[in-house]
Structures are given as structure tokens and as C-alpha cells.
Amino acid sequence: MKILVLNAGSSSLKYQLFNMDSSEVLAKGTCERIGAGGAITHKRTGSEPFCEEIDLPNHGVALERVLSLLCSAEYGVIASVAEIDAVGHRVAHGGEMLESSRITESVVKYLETIVPINPLHGPPAIAGIKACLALMPDLPQVAVFDTSFYSTIESSRYVYAIPYEFYENDKRRRYGFHGTSHRYVSGELAKALGKPIEELKIITCHLGNGSSITAVDGGKAIDTSMGFTPQEGIAMGTRSGTIDPTVVTYLMKTKGYSAQEVEDILNKKSGLLGVSGISNDLRNIFAAAEEGNERAKLAIDILVNGIKKHIGAYTAEMNGLDAVVFTAGIGENQANVREMVCENMGYLGIEIDKERNMNFTRGIPFDITAKGAKVATWIIPTDEEYMIAIDTQRLASK
């Protein structure tokens, strides 16, 4: 079975074509600057990438070009679009939709109704789905929601302590994000440990430009750091993470900022970038810290402390801990962050082998647990696209 996985952003469209029989990626790529010029990087597995500048006025045109590249004699991997069996769409926000779903007209209509609570990611995802439906109307299409992994969390963890009607009438609640990644890495960890996931208490740390931490008890998410939007939680590349909400009203009242301006500050100018004043990329911040830059050191300490705090809190919520997983750009690559997070965590049973942590192998599940430690600590590369392909295969075959 061949499955095309699409991840549509506001001006981008990422794609991967999977052969599910061999669990291989046949080709993948990214369309960028959609609506403002356009460029595609396309890579057939085992070949050099092909890049082109091409006018991409909308997601539909981008998808047409992707399909023609996938079928082309020179760069393609299939003879015709008819070889694709199903399409899986990454949809960040599923609102009240609790499970990955076959896309029907009513699913698209529902996604349109929740655009107000998902203004950034909703419209491009819907545009990607509509483009697919127009070009390949007979193909099964599946939506996989980042939020659905959190359908198992209890109301005490998702209702905010503000007047209840804001939850009831306006759906102001914790939704949680990166669920597909947390679901994937917790499953891979259980496989790596050779234990049933039902028996494990796991904390998964997805640390990238956007970061979230999730407590997974017996395979079910019970709490997560991102909330109503991906803004809540630990400090991120450019997002503040959790702050006292009064800072918002203070900025508006005393500095005259509009709601939009404050939102932009908290989303785009805060986090590691805001504190360090250097970059949202942790590599640059570590380089500056090594040269003695105090604000760079502070940004790193804020990040590390946020991760530690969540690990402590989630261990308490689960009444125990069997494993910690590090994943995504920082989690998979920044050994120094993993070391700082796991320093002085012996009380909880977390101890890592510093040698293995520094000399880890990239791209595979890698055990960094110290000998005799009570809690297993692993690096697990995330693969949201593969998880989407698995759900798509399951639902398309029904």
C-alpha cells in the first residue's frame, strides 16, 4: 500500500510517500513560499535532492506539482497517481474530534467551524485537504490530529480555573499538541524496552523549536504541557511558554500594546530568542554561552529548569516513573541539554550514562540510562509522518 502524507503550513506543504509494505519512504519534499513566489525541494530516496523555483500561488498548485514530480520519469517513484492508495493529512487541531478520521464533507465542515480556535494552522490544513479532494476525489483521505492523543486526559487537567462558562461555551481548555509525536515515541520506547506500554509510566520530552512534555501512563496521555494553544508550557524557540497572565494585561495597559501586538511578542519574540537576544536556535545560544554571554546562559537555564519541573510534576501525577524519552531537534541532538536536565535527578531514579549520552548514535532509538538506574532514559527519533501513515493505512483499509 502506498500512502502520501501531507503536512500543510500557512505557506508550506511538506510531503512523504510511503510504501507501507516495506515501511520505506519512497520520496519526500517541501514546497515553500506558497502564495509568495514558490520553491520545491524534492528528494527521491537514494538520489540527490531536486530543487526548483516555481510559482506556487496556492496549496492546490503546489500539490499538483508534487504529484507530477512523484510521477516524473526523472525524479519520480510511481508511474501514475493511481498507484497512491490513500492520503494522510496532519491536522494540528481536531477540536472535539477525538480520533484520527476518514475525511468526509462533514469533517471538513467541522474543521471550518473550529478555525477561530485554530487560526494559524486550521486554514492551511483545510486548504491542503480541499486541494487533495479536488485532485484525487476517489482516494480515501484521513485526518490525523495532534490533539487526539489527549482525549484521555481528565477534566481536572484540561479545564482552566477561570469562570466555567469559558470552557463550556467557548471551549477555552487545554487541548495539547505534538500528540502524534508523543504517541509515536512512547510506543517506540515500549518496543525498545520489550515491555507492554500498558505497564509503563513514561514522560516524553518533545524538544524542538516548539516544545512540549507529556505524561503517558499505560499508553494513555494523562497530562501535557501545551494548552489551549501551543503557547503554553516550557520556554521555546520564540514562544514564552507559561507566564503570569497579568503580564499580558500589564503590557496592554501600561505600554499601549494591542492584543495582536502582545500575541506577536509572546509567540515570535520571546522564549530562547527573547531572553538571549541572539537566536531561537539553541546551537547559536550554546555558542554564545561558551563565549561567556550571560543572557545566553540564562536562556539555557530557563529551558532546562522548565523541563525538570515538568518531569517532577508528571512523576507526581503518575505516582511513579519508568522512563524518560528525549525527542525532536533539541531532544535528539543536544546532548548537553539532556545532561543538564538529568543532573541531580537521582531522587526520582533518573541517572544517565554521560559517556553514552555524549557519544550517542543519531537516528535510532538509543539508551542513555546509567547502569543500575531505576528509570530508563532514551533518545527516540520522532517520526510523525510514519505515525500518520500508519493511521491512514488502518482507516483507509476499513
* Residue 51: CB minimum distance to ligand AMP, A: 20
Candidate segments 59-67, 135-143, 287-295, 322-330, binder of ligand AMP by CB under 6 A: 322-330
The answer to whether residue 357 forms part of the interface with ligand AMP (CB under 6 A) is: no
Q: Which is nearer to ligand AMP, 5 or 67 (CB)?
A: 5
Check: CB of residue 203 under 8 Å from CB of residue 311.
Answer: yes
CB of 150 to ligand AMP, least distance (A): 20
Closest by CA position to 146, among listed 103, 111, 190, 181: 181
Q: Any contact of residue 329 with ligand AMP (CB under 6 A)?
A: yes
Question: Does 334 contact ligand AMP by CB under 6 A?
Answer: yes
Q: Which is nearer to ligand AMP, 44 or 206 (CB)?
A: 206
Based on C-alpha coordinates, what's the Rg of the chain?
Answer: 21
CB of 66 to ligand AMP, least distance (A): 21
Instruction: Give per-residue burial for 314-333: e unless 16+ CB within 10 Å, then b.
Output: bbeebeebbbbbbbbbbbbb
| CB 363 to ligand AMP: min, Å | 11
Active-site annotation, residues: 146
Cα torsion 151, 155, 158, 164: sign: positive
Find where cell 507526581 sits: 316
229 lines the binding site for ligand AMP (CB under 6 A): no
Stretch that binds ligand AMP, among 49-57, 87-95, 330-338, 363-371 (CB under 6 A): 330-338
**CA 227 → CA 9, 113, 133, 328, distances in Å?**
20, 19, 31, 19
Binds ligand AMP (CB under 6 A): choice among 229, 231, 333, 369: 333
Is residue 72 part of the contact set for ligand AMP (CB under 6 A)? no
Cβ at position 209, least distance to ligand AMP in Å: 3
How many residues of this chain interact with ligand AMP, rule: CB under 6 A?
11
* Binds ligand AMP (CB under 6 A): choice among 76, 88, 128, 208: 208
Rounded distance between C-alpha atoms, residue 284 and residue 289, angstroms: 9
Select 230 or 329, whichever has its Cβ closest to ligand AMP: 329
Give 95 or 210: the residue with its C-beta nearer to ligand AMP.
210
Q: Is 205 in the site for ligand AMP (CB under 6 A)?
A: no
CB of 331 to ligand AMP, least distance (A): 8
**Is 241 an interacting residue with respect to ligand AMP (CB under 6 A)?**
no
Site string for ligand AMP, 268-297 (x = CB under 6 A): -------------xxx--------------
Q: Any contact of residue 394 with ligand AMP (CB under 6 A)?
A: no
Closest separation between CB of residue 126 and ligand AMP, Å? 23
Give one DSSP letter per residue of 328-392, joined into a string.
HHHHHH-HHHHHHHHTT-GGGTB-B-HHHHHTPPTTS-EE-BPTT-SBEEEE----HHHHHHHHH
Integer angstrom CA distances of residue 27 from 10, 46, 77, 78, 299: 22, 9, 7, 10, 38
DSSP code at position 21: T
91, 149 contact by CB (below 8 A): no
Question: Residue 252, Cβ neighbours under 10 Å: how many?
Answer: 14
For 277-307, letters b (16+ CB in 10 Å) and e give ebbbbbeebbebbeeebeebbebbebbbebb
Contact footprint for ligand AMP (CB under 6 A): 208-209, 237, 281-283, 328-330, 333-334
